C-alpha cells in the first residue's frame, strides 16, 4: 500500500492504527512547522506538538517546512528474538512519511517518518543524501510533546551523567529535579542541568487512567534524549545531552535519528506488554547467534560491596584470589549456575577511583594471587564459565586502546561474557555518559564484542532503547538504580522501586538488577554499616520473574544462600529465557504480577511484588494448558513477614493447580511471592 499525495499548506493527514485505538494527525501550522498530535480512543494524548532542529553548522534553524510529498505504507510481520520474554513478536504498523524542505530557502530536505502501532506511535527524522547538506552539527532538536493536563509523572532528574536515581511520583507541575537530586547524597557524580528536567523512559498517568510512556528507540550515533518541562504549558521538549564543546551531534547525510516513542494504553498490563520499542529497532545483524546464551550466574562481587573483601590487592583482603574463586566455581557448579563473575582480578584497583587517572587498567594483567589459567581450566572442568569484568573507571579512551587485546585475552581463557563499568567522569574529559561520543563508544564495544563472539553486560551505561533486537549480544545493562544501591548509606531503595522500574527503565530493555538477597542487614562483616535490603526474602525471589533479564546474577553470598536451601531452590529452578509472558496485573508504584513460560518447556514461573503496602494479589492460571495438572510450589511471605522488621520470614506451600485455578496470595509490606509451576501428566493420561 503506497500512496503519494500532494498537499496544500495546513492540510491535515490523519492515520488511524489498525485497531483504530490510536489516531495520529500531522499538519503544517501557519508558520510552516510540521506538528503532530495523538489521540487514544478519541481522547487527546498529545496535542499539536512541534518538530525541527537548530543546526550549529551550517548555522540555521530548521523549523518551517514546505511539504514536498506524503507517502504511506503498512507492514505486518512476525519475527523471533534470539532471546526474550516471548518466542515471537508481531510487528504490525502503518507508516506515514512527510517529505519536507526548509521553507526559509536553504534547500535542505528532511523527512519525518511516523509509525502508528496499535499501542502507540514512533517517529524519527531522516536526512536523506542531498547536495545541500553533507556534514552538519546539531545544536538542538525541537521535538515537543504537548501534554493535555497536569498528569501524575514517575520521573528521575534530568542528568547528563547519572540515571541511578530513585523515582519520584508527583504531578508534572511539582517536578523539581534540583530538589530531588539534592536528597540523593549517594550519587557521587551528578551533572544536573536544571530543575525542570527529567529523563526517559518517562511514565505518565492521566486522571482518566491512561498510561503514557515517552522514550526513544534505536539510539545510534546520537545523544540521549532527555526532556525539559515547561510547567506553565505542560510541554515536554527534547533536550539532547551535549558534548564537551556544547554541541549535540556531529552528523553526515544520509542519517536517521532515533525514534521518539509514545506508548499509550488504558491498561497498565498492556503498557508492560508493549513490544513497540523493540519493533522500531532493526533486525539482528548477527547472522549466527548460536553463541549467544541467556545466563544465570553468581558473582565474586557482593563480598567487596559489604566489606568482606576488597577489589584491590593491597590491604590484605583481596577477594579475587585463586582459592576463593575456586569456591565460587564449586558453588556455581553444584547449584546449576552458568557462570561466575569475578571483580577485582586485575591490576589497577589501588588507583581506580578518582576520576582523573587515565591508564589505570590494561585488562590483561591479573593480580599475582589470581591464577587465571588454572581457574579457567577448573571452571571448564566443572562446566561453568568465568565472566570477565572490565571496570574502565570512566577512562574510555584507555579502554578503547586495549579492547582488542582484552577480548582476545578473554577468549584465550574460554570467557565469552564481559561486564563493563564506567564509574566516574568520562575521559576524554568533558564528555558525558549520555552524550553522542559515549553512545558511539557503546556501539564500538557492541560491534567489537560481536566480532569476537562476546556477550556484554554494561554498567553506568546509556539506558537501553531496544537495540538488543539488532545486537542481541548486548544482553543487559544497569543504567538505573540497581538492587546493589541498598548498600549505599543514605537512601538505598524504596519498596516501591521494583514496581516502577518495569514501567520506566525496563521499557527500553533488560537490566542487570542483581536480585536474590537472603541477608538483609548488611553489617555481617563491618559492624559499623547501617545499610540494608528493603524487601522480604520472598520478594527477592519474585524479582527473578518480574524484572525481566536474560542475565540474572543471584547477588548474595554463597554462605547466605546456604542458610535457606529450600528458598534457594527457586533461584536454582527459575529460567532466564522464555517462550511466553503474561502480565497478570500491575499498577506503577504499587504492584506487578507476571507469569512466564520457560523456553522450550511446558512449565511456568510467576512472580508478584508489592510496594510498602501489604496486599493480596490473584494469580488466575487460565493461561495453563487445559487438561493438565500442574504442581505449584509457592514461595510466599510468612504471615508475620514485613520488609522492615521480619524480612526473612517465608513459607513454602505445594499445591496442585489447573487452568481453572485462581490463587490468592497475601504479600507482606515490601513483600512478594514466587511460584514454580511444573506440568504433570495430563488428567487421565500418563505423561
CB of 370 to ligand NOJ, least distance (A): 16
**Which CB, 409 or 485, lies closer to ligand NOJ?**
485
421 lines the binding site for ligand NOJ (CB under 6 A): yes
**Which CB, 391 or 637, lies closer to ligand NOJ?**
391
Site for ligand NOJ in 482-501 (CB under 6 A): 484
Interface residue with ligand NOJ, options 63, 140, 161, 343 (CB under 6 A): 343
Interface residue with ligand NOJ, options 184, 243, 478, 496 (CB under 6 A): 478
CA distance 153 to 155: 6
CA distance 66 to 281: 29
Interface residue with ligand NOJ, options 423, 491, 638, 648 (CB under 6 A): 423
Site for ligand NOJ in 168-187 (CB under 6 A): none
161 lines the binding site for ligand NOJ (CB under 6 A): no
CA distance 30 to 33: 7
CB of 421 to ligand NOJ, least distance (A): 4
Q: 323 exposed, middle or buried (CB, 10 Å; 0-12, 13-18, 19+)?
A: exposed
CA distance 566 to 578: 24
CB of 367 to ligand NOJ, least distance (A): 15
Q: What are the grid coordinates assigned to 268, written together? A: 497498565
408-420 burial, b for 16+ CB within 10 Å, e for fewer?
ebbeebebbbbbb
CA distance 460 to 191: 14
- Residue 141, contacted partner among ligand NOJ, Ca ion, none, CB below 5-8 A by kind: none
**Which CB, 259 or 328, lies closer to ligand NOJ?**
328
For residue 125, give Cα distances in angstroms to 30, 115, 220, 428, 680: 21, 12, 13, 29, 53
**Chain residues that interact with Ca ion, rule: CB under 5 A:** 459
> Please, where are the H alpha helices in 264-371?
268-273, 276-279, 302-305, 322-334
CB of 477 to ligand NOJ, least distance (A): 10
Site for ligand NOJ in 294-313 (CB under 6 A): 301
> In which element (H, E) is residue 396 found?
helix 396-412
- Residue 431, contacted partner among Ca ion, ligand NOJ, none, CB below 5-8 A by kind: none
- Residue 534, contacted partner among Ca ion, ligand NOJ, none, CB below 5-8 A by kind: none
Are 259 and 216 a contacting pair, CB within 8 Å?
yes
CB of 446 to ligand NOJ, least distance (A): 19
DSSP output for 585-649: EEETTTEEEEEEEETTSS-EEEEEEE-SS-EEEEEE-TTSPTTEEEEEEEEEE-TT-BTTTBTT-
CB of 422 to ligand NOJ, least distance (A): 9
Q: How far is CA 170 from the centre of its chain?
A: 22
Task: Write the CB contacts of 228 (distance below 8 Å, at least 6 apart in sequence).
Answer: 158, 194, 196, 197, 236, 237, 238, 239
Interface residue with ligand NOJ, options 102, 119, 196, 391 (CB under 6 A): 391
CA distance 584 to 272: 10
**Which CB, 298 or 595, lies closer to ligand NOJ?**
298
Query: CA triplet 220, 221, 224: central angle to 5 degrees?
Result: 75
**Which CB, 196 or 478, lies closer to ligand NOJ?**
478
Q: How many residues bind ligand NOJ (CB under 6 A)?
A: 8
546-585 footprint of ligand NOJ as x/- string (CB under 6 A): ----------------------------------------
**Which CB, 343 or 498, lies closer to ligand NOJ?**
343
**Which CB, 188 or 314, lies closer to Ca ion?**
188
Residue 460: closest CA among 367, 548, 395, 365: 395
- Residue 391, contacted partner among ligand NOJ, Ca ion, none, CB below 5-8 A by kind: ligand NOJ
CB of 348 to ligand NOJ, least distance (A): 11
Residue 61: closest CA among 48, 50, 69: 50
**Which CB, 343 or 556, lies closer to ligand NOJ?**
343
For residue 263, give Cα distances in angstroms to 39, 116, 228, 505, 655: 11, 10, 19, 14, 38
CB of 319 to ligand NOJ, least distance (A): 11
Task: Write the CB contacts of 123 (distance below 8 Å, at least 6 apart in sequence).
Answer: 36, 112, 113, 114, 115, 259, 260
Assess whether 562 carries a catalytic annotation: no
Q: Of 484, 498, 562, 639, which one is the catalytic site residue?
A: 484
Residues making contact with ligand NOJ (CB under 6 A): 301, 343, 391, 421, 423, 459, 478, 484
| Active site residues per annotation | 484
Amino acid at each position: 500500500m503506497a500512496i503519494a499525495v500532494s498537499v496544500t499548506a495546513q492540510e491535515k493527514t490523519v492515520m488511524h492504527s489498525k485497531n483504530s485505538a490510536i489516531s495520529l494527525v500531522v499538519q503544517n501550522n501557519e508558520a510552516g512547522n510540521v506538528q503532530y498530535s495523538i489521540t487514544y480512543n478519541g481522547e487527546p494524548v498529545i496535542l499539536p506538538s512541534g518538530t525541527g532542529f537548530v543546526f550549529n553548522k551550517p548555522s540555521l534553524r530548521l523549523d518551517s517546512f514546505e511539504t514536498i510529498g506524503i507517502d504511506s505504507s503498512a507492514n505486518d510481520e512476525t519475527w523471533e528474538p534470539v532471546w526474550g520474554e516471548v518466542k515471537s513478536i508481531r510487528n504490525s504498523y502503518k507508516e506515514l512519511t512527510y517529505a519536507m524542505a526548509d521553507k526559509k530557502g536553504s534547500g535542505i530536505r528532511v523527512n519525518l517518518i511516523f509509525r502508528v502501532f496499535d499501542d502507540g506511535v514512533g517517529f524519527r527524522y531522516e536526512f536523506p543524501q542531498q547536495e545541500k547538506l553533507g556534514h552538519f552539527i546539531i545544536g538542538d532538536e525541537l521535538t515537543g510533546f504537548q501534554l493535555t493536563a497536569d498528569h501524575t509523572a514517575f520521573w528521575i532528574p534530568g542528568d547528563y551523567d547519572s540515571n541511578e536515581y530513585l523515582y519520584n511520583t508527583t504531578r508534572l507541575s511539582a517536578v523539581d529535579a534540583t530538589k530531588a537530586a539534592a536528597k540523593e547524597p549517594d550519587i557521587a557524580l551528578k551533572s544536573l542541568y536544571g530543575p525542570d528536567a527529567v529523563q526517559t523512559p518517562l511514565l505518565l498517568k492521566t486522571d482518566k487512567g491512561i498510561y503514557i510512556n515517552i522514550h526513544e528507540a534505536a539510539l545510534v550515533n546520537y545523544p540521549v534524549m532527555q526532556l525539559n518541562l515547561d510547567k506553565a504549558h505542560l510541554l515536554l521538549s527534547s533536550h539532547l545531552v551535549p558534548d564537551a564543546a556544547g554541541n549535540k551531534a556531529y552528523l553526515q547525510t544520509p542519517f536517521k535519528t532515533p525514534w521518539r516513542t509514545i506508548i499509550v494504553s488504558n491498561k497498565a498490563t498492556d503498557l508492560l506488554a508493549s513490544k513497540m520499542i523493540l519493533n522500531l529497532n532493526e533486525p539482528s545483524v548477527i547472522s549466527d547467534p548460536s553463541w549467544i546464551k541467556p545466563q544465570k550466574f553468581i558473582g565474586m562481587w557482593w563480598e567487596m560491596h559489604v566489606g568482606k573483601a576488597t577489589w584491590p590487592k593491597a590491604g590484605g583482603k583481596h577477594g579475587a584470589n585463586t582459592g576463593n574463586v575456586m569456591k565460587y566455581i564449586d558453588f556455581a557448579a553444584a547449584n546449576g549456575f552458568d557462570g561466575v563473575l569475578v571483580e577485582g582480578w586485575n591490576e589497577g584497583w589501588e588507583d581506580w577511583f578518582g576520576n582523573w587517572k587515565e591508564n589505570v587498567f590494561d585488562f590483561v594483567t591479573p593480580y599475582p594471587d589470581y591464577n587465571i589459567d588454572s581457574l579457567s581450566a577448573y571452571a571448564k572442568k566443572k562446566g561453568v564459565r568465568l565472566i570477565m569484568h572490565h571496570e574502565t573507571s570512566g577512562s574510555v579512551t584507555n579502554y578503547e586502546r586495549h579492547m582488542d587485546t582484552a577480548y582476545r585475552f578473554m577468549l584465550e581463557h574460554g570467557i565469552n561474557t564481559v561486564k563493563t563499568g564506567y564509574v566516574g567522569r568520562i575521559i576524554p574529559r568533558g564528555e558525558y555518559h549520555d552524550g553522542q561520543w559515549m553512545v558511539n563508544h557503546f556501539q564500538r564495544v557492541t560491534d567489537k564484542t560481536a566480532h569476537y563472539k562476546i556477550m556484554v553486560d554494561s554498567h553506568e551505561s546509556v539506558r537501553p532503547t531496544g537495540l538488543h533486537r539488532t545486537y542481541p549480544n548486548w544482553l543487559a545493562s544497569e543504567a538505573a538504580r540497581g538492587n546493589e544501591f541498598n548498600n549505599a548509606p543514605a537512601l538505598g531503595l524504596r519498596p516501591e522501586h521494583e514496581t516502577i522500574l518495569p514501567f520506566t527503565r525496563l521499557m527500553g530493555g533488560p537490566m542487570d538488577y542483581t536480585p536474590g538477597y537472603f541477608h538483609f542487614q548488611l553489617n555481617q562483616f563491618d559492624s559499623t554499616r547501617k545499610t540494608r535490603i528493603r524487601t522480604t526474602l520472598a520478594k527477592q525471589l519474585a524479582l527473578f520473574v518480574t524484572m525481566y533479564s536474560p542475565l540474572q546474577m543471584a547477588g548474595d553470598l554463597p554462605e547466605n544462600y546456604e542458610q535457606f536451601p529450600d528458598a534457594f531452590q527457586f533461584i536454582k529452578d527459575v529460567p532466564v529465557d522464555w517462550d511466553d509472558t503474561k502480565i497478570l496485573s500491575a499498577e506503577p508504584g504499587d504492584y506487578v504480577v507476571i507469569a512466564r513460560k520457560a523456553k522450550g518447556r511446558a512449565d511456568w514461573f510467576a512472580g508478584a511484588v508489592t510496594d510498602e503496602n501489604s496486599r493480596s494479589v490473584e494469580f488466575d492460571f487460565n493461561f495453563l494448558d487445559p487438561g493438565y495438572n500442574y504442581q505449584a510450589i509457592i514461595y510466599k511471605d510468612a504471615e508475620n513477614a514485613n520488609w522492615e522488621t521480619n524480612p526473612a520470614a517465608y513459607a513454602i506451600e505445594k499445591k496442585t493447580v489447573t487452568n481453572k485455578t485462581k490463587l490468592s496470595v497475601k504479600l507482606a509490606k515490601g513483600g512478594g511471592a514466587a511460584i514454580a509451576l511444573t506440568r504433570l501428566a495430563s488428567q487421565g493420561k500418563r505423561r
